[in-house]
Amino acid sequence: MKYLALILELCLISTILIIVGINVNSQSLTCQNPPIETSTGGKAWPPNQTINVYVQASDFPSQTERDAINRAFNNWQSSGGTIGNGSGVSFNVTFVSALPSPRPTGAMSIQRNTTATTGAYTNISTSGSYVNDTITNIHPNVTDPNELAGIMAHEIGHTFGLGNCDYPDCSSGGSIMASRTCQGSPNFQTCNALGVNGTFGPYPGIQGPTTCDNNIVRETAGYGNQCIDNDFDGVCGFLDCNDSDYNPDDICFGTGCDPVEKQDCKSRPASQGGGGAMLPAHANASLEPFAILRLLYS
Amino acid sequence: MNAYKKTAFSLVTLIILGITALVAFHTQAARTQPRKLRPQIDKTQFPIADYVAPEPSDNGERARRRARSKKYDKSAWEIYPASRNDLTVRTHSDVELLPALPTVQSSVVIIGTVDKANAYLSDDKTGVYSEFNIRIEEILKTDKASLSSGNSLMAIREGGQVKFPSGHTQVFFAAKERMPRVGRRYVLFLKCTDEAGVFNLLTGYELRAGKVFPLDEPKQFSIYQNVDEDPFINEVKGSLQTQ
């Protein structure tokens, strides 16, 4: 009788756990996976690094603007833990009278710039396997604190290897990388006109990374010393040109496969993405305890 | 007692079966997903500017080059010769704001082949831009009487590759913009500059083996990926007629 009660108790706990698990899974489905930033190869800040963020103080004079910028960085920093993206990256934000020039390694500069016709853009410089330094330009018309925080968080997402997620793949609230100019609009010309007129489209509706954003950052950057077998070949990381199961038809660029481009892959030197060098964080990776659960619920 | 045991056994069996089915479903779903490929950028598409290239010796040519290069001064690229970075990418650019067929935004639309490509630094050496000499095959739209089939024009796009005195090279480009390739044939959407025969490249589509391939990556252009060339050209012409 004692054992029977124990078994029934275990059954009850298991059932509750499964129900909770399914609920967590269905909640995570409400977010949307952004693409990897193809142009940088998904490179991100080195793990566990403190990034010095220099903000042009005269461009952001009000406390509400400064709070908005700080909020975006805080949201990314608080997502850098084990249950987030695992980056361990922290940000040291300071408002300065002049931005450092040239930019030091591991630094991010932020200023206002009328050339940011899409609301904002970031110039991301990479060296080796990582992001080295960046400068973000935000249009002077972006003054609403919620919009400013959303745009800033979106640009930070780029520095973690995430690309823009266009409608309808991403919608407001699903990913911080949802493209601002086309939120919820099925008509590209109509929604793009928002940007052209200088009024700008809605911000992503959130001010920090979603679960999906963190999952993609973790997988792409290889944070957390984990092994993700992206191409299901039994080896950590993405498919590479010299993998044994490499097929020229596998190599795709951007929006579609280009039969001329894909033939370039095998002859390309390692410095240009060929040669099959694996992302360093993956090279000595071991299977993280939560990786299987993460895969199941991603 | 036996009834309790049976119930408990059945419950445990059901739970185990459920978990197994869940794991199997997810594993199968994972296996049927497309293979994720590490994104790569082909640097060979970017013309190279020599950081210490001498100015043209001809006075007129030198003045023209300086005037053109000045437009790219005070660039947000911030090129540093001592930099060890291998590439600098701009996350957003105006190409994202264009419709798939930007006939309204273009002052000139042509079909042509790229004859030559070169890159140049801005006058203050903070920026870089690429120039493409295009041999015109057919003009679909123009407000310039000077343009005609068989002639050439110059298309410019910001970005390019810079070779520093150390031999180190660094690529500068906008994330979703690509460079036209020498020897390939394109439909190009161009915008006038203040210089005769020189245009800014808005976007384009490559025409290859009877098919169409967008030059740039924003999603709106992908609707013409791999479509047949003739219907595409007709659609561009139709779009021009309805303006």
* pLDDT given at position A254: 34
For chains A and B, CB pairs below 8 A equal: 192
Give the type of residue at B65: R
Cβ of B221 under 8 Å from any chain A Cβ?
yes
DSSP label at residue A115: T
Q: At how many degrees (to 10) do helices B2-32 and A2-28 cross?
A: 20
**Phi/psi at A77 (nearest 5 deg)?**
-65, -40
* pLDDT given at position B201: 98
Give the type of residue at B79: I
Is B42 close to A239, i.e. CB distance below 8 A? no
Is B15 close to A14, i.e. CB distance below 8 A? yes
Chain B residues lying within 8 Å of A232, measured CB to CB: 30-31, 33, 35
Q: Distance between CA atoms of A125 and A108, rounded to whole angstroms? A: 10
Q: How far is CA B95 from CA A24, B24, B47, B91, B105, in A?
A: 38, 44, 20, 11, 11
The H-assigned helical ranges of chain B are 2-32, 59-70, 229-241
Chain A residues lying within 8 Å of B19, measured CB to CB: 18
Residues 224-243 of B with CB under 8 A from A: 225-226
Return the structure tokens found at A120. Answer: 């904002």
Nearest CB partner across the interface for A135, out of B22, B78, B84: B78
Number of DSSP helices (H) and strands (E) in chain A, helices first: 7, 5
Nearest CB partner across the interface for B86, out of A126, A239, A240: A126
Question: Minimal CA–CA distance to B109: which of B143, B63, B151?
Answer: B143
Cβ of B139 under 8 Å from any chain A Cβ?
no
Cβ of A117 under 8 Å from any chain B Cβ?
yes
Is B42 close to A273, i.e. CB distance below 8 A? yes
A123 bridge partner residues: A135, B90
Question: Minimal CA–CA distance to B109: which of B98, B101, B118?
Answer: B101
Concatenate the DSSP letters of all residues of B143-165 into one string. S-TT--TT-EEEEEEE-EEEE-T
* pLDDT given at position A221: 84
Give the type of residue at A255: T
Cβ of A226 under 8 Å from any chain B Cβ?
no
Is A250 close to B35, i.e. CB distance below 8 A? yes
pTM of the complete model: 0.76
Return the structure tokens found at B157. Answer: 């796009």
Q: Which helix (H) or strand (E) holds A107?
A: strand A107-112
Q: How far is CA B137 from CA A202, B110, B183, B186, B207, in A?
A: 42, 7, 13, 10, 12
**Phi/psi at A15 (nearest 5 deg)?**
-60, -45
- Positive or negative, the CA dihedral B10, B15, B20, B24 is positive
Length of chain A: 298
* pLDDT given at position A196: 35
- Cis ω before A102 (30° cut-off from 0): yes
Nearest CB partner across the interface for B8, out of A7, A40, A251: A7
A52 vs chain B: nearest CA distance in angstroms?
A: 18
Per-residue pLDDT of chain B (243 residues; tens, 9 = 90+): 567 777 777 777 777 877 776 665 554 444 444 445 556 678 889 999 999 999 999 999 999 999 999 999 988 888 999 888 999 999 988 888 788 999 999 999 999 999 999 999 999 999 999 999 999 999 999 977 778 888 999 999 999 999 999 999 999 999 989 999 999 999 999 999 999 899 999 999 999 999 999 999 888 898 999 999 999 999 999 999 987
Cβ of A157 under 8 Å from any chain B Cβ?
no
Question: Minimal CA–CA distance to B152: which of B179, B185, B115, B123?
Answer: B115
Per-residue pLDDT of chain A (298 residues; tens, 9 = 90+): 556 666 656 655 665 555 444 444 433 447 889 988 888 888 999 999 999 999 999 999 999 999 999 999 999 999 998 889 999 999 999 999 999 988 889 999 999 998 887 788 999 999 888 999 999 999 898 888 988 998 999 999 999 999 988 767 777 778 898 875 544 444 433 344 334 333 444 455 789 999 999 999 988 887 875 555 555 555 555 555 545 555 544 444 333 333 333 333 434 444 444 333 333 333 223 333 343 344 344 3
Chain A residue closest in CA terms to B104: A189
Question: Cα torsion at B103, B104, B109, B115 (round to 10°)?
Answer: -90
Decide if A134 contacts A123 (C-beta within 8 A).
yes
Nearest CB partner across the interface for A238, out of B36, B92, B176: B36
Is A250 close to B90, i.e. CB distance below 8 A? no
Chain A residues lying within 8 Å of B225, measured CB to CB: 255-256
Nearest CB partner across the interface for A189, out of B41, B99, B213: B99
Is B39 close to A36, i.e. CB distance below 8 A? yes
A81 vs chain B: nearest CA distance in angstroms?
A: 25
* pLDDT given at position A178: 83
Tokens 């991403």 correspond to what residue? A170
Decide if B177 contacts B92 (C-beta within 8 A).
no
Tokens 């990776």 correspond to what residue? A285
Collapsing DSSP to helix, strand or coil, A57 comes out as helix
Residues 97-116 of B with CB under 8 A from A: 97-100
Nearest CB partner across the interface for A231, out of B35, B221, B222: B35
* pLDDT given at position A60: 98
